[in-house]
Amino acid sequence: MSLQGLVERLPRLVRVFDFLLPLLATLAALAIGAVMLVLLKASPLESYSALLEGAFGSKNALADTLVKATPLLLVGLGICIAFRGGVINIGGEGQLVVGAVAGTLVGLKFPDASGWLIVPSALLVGFLAGGIWGGIPGFLKAYFNVNEILSTIMMNQIAVQGMNYLLRGPMIDPVQLEAASRIPQTARLSAQFDLPRLIPTRLHLGTGLAIMAAVLVFIFLWRTTAGYRIRAVGLNPHASRYAGVNVKRYIVLSLLLSGAFAGLAGVIQVYGVNHRMFTDGSATGFTGGAGFNGIVAALFGQLHPLGTIPASFLFGALLVGANKLQRVMQVPSALITALNGLVVVFVVSSELWRRRLARARTVETKEEALPPTDAEAKVVP
Amino acid sequence: MNDSEIIRILASIIFQSTPLMIAVSGETITERAGVVNLSLDGTMLMAAMTGFVVGLKTESLWIGFLAAAAVGALFALIVAFGNIRLRQSQVAVGFVLTLLGDDLSSFLGQNYTRIPGPVVKHFGIPVLKEIPILGPIFFNQDATVYFAFILVIVTWFLLFRTQPGLRIRSAGERPESAFARGVNVNRIRYLYSILGGALVGISGAVYSFNVKLGWSEGHTRGLGWIALAIVIFGGWSPVRGAFGAVLFGATKALATFLQKAFPEVSVVAFNSIPWLLMIAVLFVAGSDVTERLVVFMPRFVQRPLRRLLRVAPPMALGTTFGED
């Protein structure tokens, strides 16, 4: 191979490196995790093989990973829309809860109806409810200049309070009421409402729906006028306004859609996995933190709907594998959360390095300057 | 309810809002310099945990507070570094740090939950605490409360009456002009992010040594976000921010009081009050509702009222400043 050929091939090699960087970052985070494991007197090698086995070791493990990745993907899709539209949605937890409660209500209200009727309407209701919950901060942001980071956080708290009220009172399982144990959960939804299982595992139709949604969001953002306008508003609201875009309306729309996908994640979680709604008093009890982790998955997927698919898969694997790790090695559960946090920080910072390297390369080769990426679009809370 | 009970409640409101005042002062400095440290919630958790554990081990409050300040400074430094050197969105870095601080604090602090540790001692200021009504509310408190009062005033003085303050604000308002005038914008941003972060760290330790003794998982969860909201409510002024903190404490006390008065109403309704109020506050602070009301006021009060109600974020808040 001539030197010339190698030089010509260099950009492609660099691109492969770019792609590998998040994975390298994950490995680096796991290396630090290994140090923590050693400090806890657990063998890192055994621990990580337990993690891998837990996430990918069997058909069931793989199915669990996919099931865990599903809400992350859906929330992440919403995050892609919001962040591309220049607004920040930290209200995924609340929107997910609201969507789940609304969707559950549909199923509880008509226990004898056909699943063909109820499941789609529950999905729709959850989608809309999440959309409303996300749309409120959007409306406040667009028309009253209320900071959306803070209002979505506040809306999370209000959603949790509402959920606790409903599940301890009006929506509580009659059985729990009679047994006087009063566990705050609803009755189990009728069996005909369960989302169909795909293979004889816990894998359900919701995962397929989420992947379809990812494709739809991609088409929406890059192949429709509304999607184009959302991105335009996100990149430069002033220019968009002069181009005749109703900026306020698109701010509301992007937060509304963002909330809607989180709401959909909530309904799918109920109809596909839990078949009832329950609470431990906090949001994470039901969501498993999907509303927050979805943001991370979306950032990892570079705020691209299709990139978010593998990103959520990776985080799903980490969550499921960590469960197994905890059971096998008897390490404290807090280690797992810390490990997740480390992966997140490393992956996000690797992304920063990648971008820096990319910029350095463009400067060196005197190529045309890279356009600013969306994540660099300035955000003023 | 008699007079002494009202005074006791008011004193406890002041006491409860102390750490928020400190955190708000710190974040106000940081944001005035143009940096949003969104990691407040995680920072406070990590600082509360670290401060408590260090204080417990060394049996020294001072070292505990110092460790908490160091943790806060470190988190702020990461945000500043991510923004200035790595050109990354402050919001993204801050959010990730929020999650990390939450997780890491529950992991590292798991062996120290629910055990007694050092406590800030009660310290009534002689003479001043004898003043009727005001004395018991403001001057018969712990040293941390007085620290917060002094800090709020010092922060205000620093920002609005000194030359460094002018530089801080110029870095946050118009970094390009400041740079042209010879201000090292990014050094200012590093410096005051770290200072603000250290104060946020101290506020976390105030919880574990003083207001909510000890350490438990998620000890201060949610309060960092409240502090961020109060900074906006305070219009990026430490004095107004302090009032915001007290107002928040008062609504929480009111919620508890109402709950006792109306036991038949669901506790949920009262638990939601502070959050709903914060949204309402952001709504009033950010919209032109107040401006519409001001117009109806007599002319001579319009100007001071506008100044009082003015809420404008530092113009370059959250942006990256490149010298090239």
In this model, does residue A54 exceed pLDDT 80? yes
Which chain A residues in 120-179 lie under 8 Å from chain B, judged by CB atoms?
Answer: 140, 143-147, 149-151, 153-155, 157-158, 161-162, 164-165, 169
End-to-end CA distance of chain A: 53
* Token digits of residue A185: 């959960």
pLDDT one-digit tens code per residue, B129-147: 888 888 888 888 889 999 9
DSSP B228-244: HHHHHHTTT-HHHHHHH
* C-alpha to C-alpha distance for A293 and A235, rounded to whole angstroms: 24
Q: How far is A114 from chain B (nearest CA, A)?
A: 35
Q: Average of pLDDT values for B166-170? A: 94
Give the residue, A198 or A361, on which the prediction is more confident.
A198
List B124's β-bridge partners, or say none. Answer: B140
Tell me the helices (H) and strands (E) count for chain A, helix number first: 15, 0
Write down the pLDDT at residue A6: 59
In this model, does residue B118 exceed pLDDT 60? yes
| Phi then psi dihedrals of residue B43, to 5 deg | -60, -45
Instruction: Return the percentage of chain A with pLDDT > 70, whole number.
Output: 85
Write down the pLDDT at residue A375: 46
Q: How many CB atoms lie within 10 A of CB A81?
A: 30
Give the residue, A106 or A12, on which the prediction is more confident.
A106
Q: Average of pLDDT values for B256-265? A: 80
| Contact check, Cβ <8 Å, B275/A344 | no
Give how far Cα B107 sits from Cα of A180, A325, A334, B111, B292, Å: 35, 16, 4, 9, 50
pLDDT mean across residues, chain A: 85
Write down the pLDDT at residue A346: 77
Confidence of residue A380 (pLDDT cuts 50, 70, 90): very low
Write down the pLDDT at residue A367: 42
In this model, does residue A257 exceed pLDDT 80? yes
pLDDT one-digit tens code per residue, B34-93: 999 999 999 999 999 999 999 999 999 999 999 999 999 999 999 998 888 877 778 878
Write down the pLDDT at residue B286: 66
* C-alpha to C-alpha distance for B291 and B294, rounded to whole angstroms: 5
pLDDT mean across residues, chain B: 87
Total beta-carbon pairs less than 8 A apart between chain A and chain B:
133
In this model, does residue A299 exceed pLDDT 90? no
Handedness of CA B273, B276, B278, B280 (dihedral sign): negative
Confidence of residue A5 (pLDDT cuts 50, 70, 90): low
Q: Which of A176-180, A309-313, B154-158 has the highest mean pLDDT?
A: B154-158
* C-alpha to C-alpha distance for B177 and B123, rounded to whole angstroms: 47
Q: Average of pLDDT values for A211-225? A: 96
Write down the pLDDT at residue A370: 45
| Contact check, Cβ <8 Å, A147/B282 | yes
Q: Average of pLDDT values for A101-113? A: 93
* Token digits of residue B44: 């406070």
Burial of A137 (0-12, 13-18, 19+ CB in 10 A): buried
Contact A96, A263 (CB under 8 A): yes
Contact A267, A103 (CB under 8 A): yes
In this model, does residue A65 exceed pLDDT 80? yes
pLDDT one-digit tens code per residue, A320-378: 888 888 888 887 766 776 777 777 777 766 766 666 666 676 665 544 444 444 444 44
Give the residue, A41 or A354, on which the prediction is more confident.
A41
Contact B187, B179 (CB under 8 A): no
Which amino acid, B126?
Answer: P
Q: Average of pLDDT values for A163-173? A: 88
Which of B46, B81, B91 is most worth mutating to test chain A (most A CB atoms within 10 A of its CB)? B91
Q: Average of pLDDT values for A249-271? A: 97
Write down the pLDDT at residue A130: 97
| Contact check, Cβ <8 Å, B276/A154 | yes
Q: Average of pLDDT values for A11-26? A: 68
In this model, does residue A253 exceed pLDDT 60? yes
| Contact check, Cβ <8 Å, A335/B107 | yes
| Phi then psi dihedrals of residue A148, to 5 deg | -75, -25
* C-alpha to C-alpha distance for B78 and A297, rounded to whole angstroms: 21
In this model, does residue B122 exceed pLDDT 50? yes
Contact B234, B24 (CB under 8 A): yes
Burial of A19 (0-12, 13-18, 19+ CB in 10 A): exposed
Which amino acid, A138?
Answer: G
| Contact check, Cβ <8 Å, B87/A356 | yes
Q: Residue B127: how many CA atoms within 13 Å on its side-chain side? A: 0
ipTM over 0.90: no
Which chain A residues in 276-295 lie under 8 Å from chain B, judged by CB atoms?
Answer: 292, 295
Write down the pLDDT at residue B321: 83
Write down the pLDDT at residue A371: 46
Identify which of B188, B193, B192 has the alpha carbon closest to the alpha carbon of residue B78: B193
- Report the SS3 class of residue B122: strand
DSSP A26-58: HHHHHHHHHHHHHHTT--HHHHHHHHHHHHHSS
pLDDT one-digit tens code per residue, B190-212: 999 999 999 999 999 999 999 88
Identify which of B256, B231, B291, B210 has the alpha carbon closest to the alpha carbon of residue B23: B231
Q: Residue A17: how many CA atoms within 13 Å on its side-chain side? A: 11
Q: Average of pLDDT values for B146-158? A: 96
* C-alpha to C-alpha distance for B93 and B75, rounded to whole angstroms: 10
DSSP B191-242: HHHHHHHHHHHHHHHHIIIIIS-S--TTTTTTHHHHHHHHHHHTTT-HHHHH
Q: Which of A40-44, B47-51, B226-230, B236-240 has the highest mean pLDDT?
A: B47-51
Which chain A residues in 199-258 lie under 8 Å from chain B, judged by CB atoms?
Answer: none
Write down the pLDDT at residue A184: 87
Contact A195, A122 (CB under 8 A): no
Instruction: Return the percentage of chain B with pLDDT > 90, whole number.
Output: 45
Q: Give the closest of A154, A348, A379 to B96, CB-based.
A: A348
Instruction: Return the percentage of chain A with pLDDT > 90, whole number.
Output: 43
* Token digits of residue A165: 């009220």
Contact A248, A120 (CB under 8 A): no
Write down the pLDDT at residue A179: 80
- How does DSSP classify residue A278? B
Instruction: Say what the alpha-carbon torsion angle A262, A30, A324, A60 is, to the nearest 10 degrees.
Output: 60
Residue A136 sits at the vertex; the CA angle it makes with A228 and A140, to the nearest 5 degrees, is 85
| Contact check, Cβ <8 Å, A150/B229 | yes
In this model, does residue B316 exceed pLDDT 90? no
Q: Average of pLDDT values for B283-293? A: 71
